[in-house]
Structures are given as structure tokens and as C-alpha cells.
Amino acid sequence: MNLNKIIKSTAMKRISFFVFVISHLVVSCFAHDNIYLSLSASQAKRSGIAIEVFVPVGKDANTASFAKYIQEIVKNDLILSRYFNVVDKPSGNFNTKEKLLSLKHMNVFVILAASVSNEGKNLVVKIKMTDVSTGSTIWENKYTDKSCNYRYLAHKISDEIVKRFTGETGIACSKIAFINDGTKFKELYIIDYDGHNLRRLTKDNRINVLPKWSPRGDQIIYTSYLCRNPDLFILNIVENKRKILSKYQGLNVAGSFAPDGERILLTLSMKKYPNLYLINLAGGILRKMTEGMHIDTSPSFAPNGQEIVFISDRAGYPQLYIMNINGGNVRRLTTNGLCDSPEWSPRGDKIVFTMKEARGNHDLYIYDLPTAKIIKLTNNQRNNENPTWSPDGRFVVFYSNRSGKGEIYIMAIDGSGTRKLTEISGTSYTPAWSPVLTR
Amino acid sequence: MFNQRDFFKYLAISVFLHLSVFCFLLDNGNKKKSVCLSVPVEVFFNSPLHKKADQSIAPVSKSSNVQTKQQETDQPMVSSVSDGNSVQTKLSPDERKKTKPVIKDSFVKKKDSPKKGTNKTKIDNKVAEKLKNQTTNRQPVKKGRENVVSKSLPSDNDSNVETFQSPDSPAVSVSYGSQYGEVSFDTKNFKFSYYGNQIGKKIISQSRWVESYGKFRVLVYFKIHKSGTISDVFIKESSGNKEYDKNALDAIYRAVPLPELPESYEEDFLGVFFEFK
């Protein structure tokens, strides 16, 4: 009899579970639908570009595969840049007016053609852009790479296309540093912005956290427990050397470079309350930025180097503050929620940060400085934390556990076009987007 | 021990529910869904769309079939609107705001000319003469502007709206939010249609004018140099509203750096007429 009851109750539970699942599905599906309604005018701003098949010169099988890879990478870059509507165009004689017109009707303004050749050990790519309506050449260029680093070569090509079209710098040559615990320990990794070319930088079997790039992109600072104390390390990824930058007793965390690359802001506890300090690259303290019996952390410089944004709990709970680099003029930006990890946009007009409201998850927000408005970027998708800007200030990379596992995502700052960076084992944390690199 | 009747009842219910979920998912799968699942947050950075954007009438762009078609295929967003659900009805005013400018956004094609042809005869001689007089004063403008004809277009509520088109370089029209712009060049030698479109989009997206402030039109002239920098920005024809003139100039300065001029264009600079309306 008892067992019967148990079966009944478990069945009831199951039914209620199903009802819950269904209602959840219904809600989430409708929620997805209404997302599309809000995707905004960015689509209308895109311009059409047709990519011709990249032609390999010679009959070398390697060259043919390089041509194919480079075309794929360039196409992907142009799509990810969200400036273009990319159309595939078969090779052949397209000078006939009818065919050009057909492209024009597809709203395509330019054609990209390229040839790939292997001269000795150098990989040579010749790029040519043609205007659809007149058939005249817009520009031609030749790219060579000695080490056959075709991926970087392709990114460089896409960056130049973006630059020629928009006047803005492209971000295809950037990388993202992050922490992953796939090896059971939190190690530092870097990966291309398009989710390829994953590389592990540390093998410490310890905890490494909070990486940040230097403005020139040759160094990464992060906090490591290698010496059983959270010390700030600086890793030169060109020479592949690292050293301890700051090893004061207690916390040496949340380091962040000044735009000149010569100074670092970080939180030191020094047996007292964790406050902000400005140090130089030798580790010497230049100035104590904040004073008081409260916690100040997560600093980030404005691109002009004159102001900083940071988190302080002087109000009783963590809030967003701005102050001058010389000290003083402290202003509070937010009034509610628990804020964390702000970063100043490279264009200087926005600050992205994480906030947790009383009954919610951690979500991404943007503080728009000219209008003093706070804009919510993520919603109802579990926790979204640790945002950092792309070098052009049009995207953010962030941590989210929306899939049930901590992973890195990239989204445009109008809240659209979210994509997962890559699929790797283990949990990933605290991404940091590099400046545009030259390697 | 086992109460079989109950068990089968619950089993049947659970199977039914499974099936319903499965059907629901199947049905859902049939809808075209894109990968991005982001947030229903409206973000306006440059020109916040105003309620009155609904009423705005595009004077120029009435044949945008080709583009709108592509927009629809590109964006599942548009198709999902037609699926009736409660959320959609709630948000429909927003949607109207959003889609309208998308549909209006168009590139003026030769197709238009027969439509406009009826009005071509009504050339406003005064304005054309005035233009000619103005252009003779300025050296760089002189060359191409002789061909400029100003003609009045049919528009429902504003008869002052005009477009400037020279036969050699047809004006490119662009739109963003409730703002429209037209780009034309002062030279015949510039044979790149993509460039006008590119700079037009970039400049018009920097305009922060909301239509409820008033409807005006202003013609601005500026030079673009090889590297994408600009100079000699001045207002050719004022709108009569200082704020609107300033907004137009600000939008142009904010859009710098503009894309570099094509390499095969031999002159050092390109004179551009930009019309805001």
C-alpha cells in the first residue's frame, strides 16, 4: 500500500515536472520570438559584397588548400564584422552587363577576387576589389607571409577590407585571453577572436585568474596562486617570458593597464582593506588611489588615461564609481544592484559592467556616459559576467553559464548576434579581448 | 502491491505529454530560427526612434522591392512577426517603429525615373538659377554643378522636399531611423557607386535628429581627401533652422574617419554634396 502511494506521488511529481517543463518551453519559445522583434537597424546598415572563389596559382595541392582556407576565413571575418552581407559568387567572366546587374539587384556593390600562390616558402595573396556598377578597380594589394601563417594573413586581409569600407579598424587580428579549468586547474589560454587557434599559455597546476592585455598587445597580466599568495604576474607573449610584478602580502588582484602601457592599476590589501594602487612596471607603488575602510576593486582606465572607473562598496554594497586619475572627483554612477567588473569602452563613451539585481541573475549592462542611461544587454539567460570590449568598441566578450556550463560568448553591443566563442572541455572564465595585434 | 490501473493512467498521461512536447518542438522547428538568441532590449545609440517615426513619409524611396525582399530572407525576425502570438501583439508598436525604416531604406535606382518623369518637366527654374549663381563663386564646385537640376518630387505633406541629381553621378539615398540623406558628387570622374552608399550610411547613422523636432532639409558640401579626412565643410543651403544645420554638420564631423578614397581615383579630393532631410 505504502509503495503504491510512493509510486503515485512520484508519478504526480513527474507530471508536475512535465507541466513545468512544457510551460517553461512555451515561455522560452515565445521569449525567443520576441527577441527577433527587437533586432534593430544594423541589418539595414550593411552593404553587400560578393566573394569570388580564390584562385590558386600553379598546380600545387598545398596552394589549393591554402586558397580554400583563406577564402573561408576572410568570408567568416566579413560576416562576423557585421558590416557586410556576404554573397558567394562563382568564378568566371562577370564583365557582362547582365551578370553585373543581377549582382546589383542583390544589393551587392563590390566584388572581391583573389589569387593565392606559393613563391618559394612565401605565401602570396593578391586581392582585388571591383565596383559592381562601373566595373572599375577600387584597390589591389599583395600580401606575403614568410611562415605560411595563413590564418593571420587572412585576418589581415579582412581587416583591410573593413578599413577601406568603413574607415574604422577591423578586429580580425585580435585574440581573446581566458581561463579554463579543463585540466582540473585554472590555466591561461588565448584564442583567435573567431574561435580558432587555441593555445595554452600556462602549465602551473595552480589557480590563475583575471587576465588583462597590455595596450600594445604584447603582454598579459594576471593573478596567480603559484607562490601560494595571489600575486600579479606579467607574461610577455612575444618572448614567452614571465615574471612576478607585484607580490605584496595579501591580494594583488584585478590589474589593469593604463593606456600608455607604463602603469598598472590594481587592488592591494597589504594586511588592511583592499584599496586601489597605481604601480609601475617594476612593481613600485606610485600612488595610493583610494583610502578608507571599504573594498575598492576592478579598476579600468578611460581611453584618454585621465579617469578610472572602479567598484567600491563604500555605500554598503558594490557600486560603480568614476574618479580622476589624480585622485578626487569621485562620482557614483549606479544606485542599485550589486555591480562588478566594469570596463571603459575604447571609444570612451560607454562603460560595460555586470549587475545583479535583488531577484535576478548577473546580467550585462552598458552605462552610456553622454546620456547617463543604463542599458541592459542580457536577460533571463542565467549569469553573464566579466565583459570586456572588442578593440573597436562594437562587441563585448563575456562569461555566461546559459548552457549550464561556464563558457565564453561574444555579442554586439546592440544586444544582438550572440555567438559562442568555441566548444572546449571544462569551464571557461574571465575573458579579456586583446587590442588589434600585429603578429 | 502494484496498482496497475493507476500506473497505466499515469503512463498514458506522461506519454501524451511527451508527445505534445515533441509535437510542439517539431512545430517550433519548422519556423525559421536563427542562431542568435539575445535579449529584447532596445538600444538606441545615435538617433532614438520616436513615436512619430510611424508617420514619416519617405519622399524618395518608393521602389525598394528588391532590398526589402532580401531583408526578409536575411532576417527571420520579419517572418516571425507574422506568427500570431500574444507577445507579438504586445510589442507590435515597437515592431512597427523598427521595420518601417528598414523597409524605407533604399537605393534609388534608374527604375524610379519614369515615375518621376512626370515631375521632371516641372523644373523649378528659380532654384536652378540660384544654384548656378552660387556654384560659379566656388572653384571646385563649378565643374560638376552645372549639370545639377533640382526638381520637386511628389510628397504628401511637404512640398519643399527636393533632390539634387546630376546625370553623371546619380544621387545615392540612405536612411537611418527617421532621417534620410542623399549623397552626390561634384565630379563626373568618380565612378564608384559603393563609396557614396558607404559614406552616406556612415554619416546618416551619426545624425541625432528626431523627427518630432521638426522636418527640414539642408544641403552640406565638404571635401573628402585620399586618407578619408574631410575639409571645407560648409552649408550650401541652410534649412532656416540653426539647430538642424548644426546637427547636420555634427553628423559629418562625427562620421570621420570616412573610408579612404579608391586607389584608382586620381584626384586628391572628392567634393560631396550631402542632403539631410
The ipTM (two decimal places) reads: 0.71
Q: Does residue B42 register a pLDDT over 60?
A: no
Please state, in angstroms and rounded to a whole number, the distance separating the CA atoms of residues B42 and B46. Answer: 12
CA dihedral A320, A324, A330, A332 (to 10 degrees): -30
B177 versus A162: the higher-pLDDT residue is A162
- pLDDT for the residue A426: 86
Count of C-beta atoms within a 10 Å radius of residue B71: 21
- pLDDT for the residue A127: 87
- pLDDT for the residue A389: 92
Please state, in angstroms and rounded to a whole number, the distance separating the CA atoms of residues A189 and A82. Answer: 26
Ramachandran angles phi, psi of A56, nearest 5°: -80, 135
What residues of chain A lie within 8 A of the CB of B67, using their CB? 107
Please state, in angstroms and rounded to a whole number, the distance separating the CA atoms of residues A62 and A126. Answer: 17
**CATH class held by domain A43-166:** alpha beta
| Among the listed residues B74, B76, B69, the one whose alpha carbon sits nearest the alpha carbon of residue B34 | B76
CB nearest A418 (choices: B10, B38, B86): B38
Domain(s) of CATH 2.120.10.30: residues in chain A: 175-433
Please state, in angstroms and rounded to a whole number, the distance separating the CA atoms of residues A406 and A429. Answer: 7
CB nearest B40 (choices: A34, A47, A417): A34
DSSP state of A380: S
Q: Is A85's CB within 8 Å of B6's CB?
A: no
CA distance A406 to chain B (A): 17
Residues 11-40, chain A, touching B (beta carbon < 8 A):
11, 14-15, 18-19, 21-22, 25-26, 29-40
Suggest the residue from A20, A37, A127, A352 to mutate for an interface test with chain B (most B CBs closer than 10 A).
A37
Question: With an 8 Å Cβ cutoff, is A45 touching chain B?
Answer: yes
- pLDDT for the residue A125: 86
- pLDDT for the residue B133: 47
Successive 10-residue mean pLDDT values, chain A, 439 residues: 55 62 53 32 64 80 84 88 79 60 73 82 84 80 81 88 86 90 88 88 87 90 88 88 86 88 88 87 86 88 91 89 88 88 90 88 88 85 89 90 88 86 87 86
3-state helix, strand, coil in chain A (%, to 5): 20, 40, 40
Q: Which three cell numbers mark A94?
A: 562577370
The mean per-residue pLDDT over the stretch B107-128 comes to: 42
Suggest the residue from B1, B22, B39 to mutate for an interface test with chain A (most A CBs closer than 10 A).
B39
Please state, in angstroms and rounded to a whole number, the distance separating the CA atoms of residues B19 and A275. Answer: 58
Task: Compute CA distances B181 → A45, A129, A383, B133, B135, whole Å.
Answer: 13, 26, 42, 24, 21
CA distance A230 to chain B (A): 36
Residues 198-217, chain B, touching A (beta carbon < 8 A):
198, 201-202, 205
Q: Does residue B16 register a pLDDT over 90?
A: yes
Suggest the residue from B24, B36, B38 to mutate for an interface test with chain A (most A CBs closer than 10 A).
B38
Q: Which domain holds residue B234?
A: 112-276
Give DSSP secondary structure letters for chain B.
---HHHHHHHHHHHHHHHHHHHHHHHHHHHS---S---------SSS---GGGGT---SS----HHHHHHHHHH-HHHHHHHS--HHHHHHHHHHHHHHHHHHH-----TTHHHHHHHHHTSB-HHHHHHHHHHHHH-HHHHHHHTT-EEEEPP-SS-TT-EEEE-SSS--EEEEETTEEEEEEES-SS---HHHHHHHHHHHHTT----GGG----EEEEEEEETTS-EEEEEEEE--S-HHHHHHHHHHHHHTPSPPPPPTT--SSEEEEEEEE-
Q: Is B40's CB within 8 Å of A38's CB?
A: yes
CB B99 within 8 A of CB A36: no
- The reply to whether omega before B257 is within 30° of 0 (cis) is yes
The answer to whether residue B74 is domain-embedded is: no
What residues of chain A lie within 8 A of the CB of B255, using their CB? 167
A27 versus B91: the higher-pLDDT residue is A27
Per the structure, the count of domains in chain B is: 1
Q: Is B14's CB within 8 Å of A14's CB?
A: yes
Choose the weakest-confidence range: A417-431, B13-27, B186-200: B186-200
CA distance A156 to chain B (A): 17
| CATH number of the domain that residue B255 is part of | 3.30.1150
Domain(s) of CATH 3.40.50.10070: residues in chain A: 43-166
CA distance B60 to chain A (A): 17
Please state, in angstroms and rounded to a whole number, the distance separating the CA atoms of residues A120 and A46. Answer: 39
**CATH code for A175-433?**
2.120.10.30
| Among the listed residues A250, A259, A261, A336, the one whose alpha carbon sits nearest the alpha carbon of residue A297 | A250
What residues of chain B lie within 8 A of the CB of A11, using their CB? 6-7, 10, 14
Question: With an 8 Å Cβ cutoff, is B18 touching chain A?
Answer: yes
Question: With an 8 Å Cβ cutoff, is A405 touching chain B?
Answer: no
B241 versus B124: the higher-pLDDT residue is B241
Question: With an 8 Å Cβ cutoff, is B185 touching chain A?
Answer: no
What residues of chain A lie within 8 A of the CB of B39, using their CB? 35, 38, 376-381, 415
Question: With an 8 Å Cβ cutoff, is B101 touching chain A?
Answer: yes
Query: pLDDT tens digit string along B209-259?
Result: 777 777 888 888 888 888 888 888 888 888 888 888 888 888 888 888 888
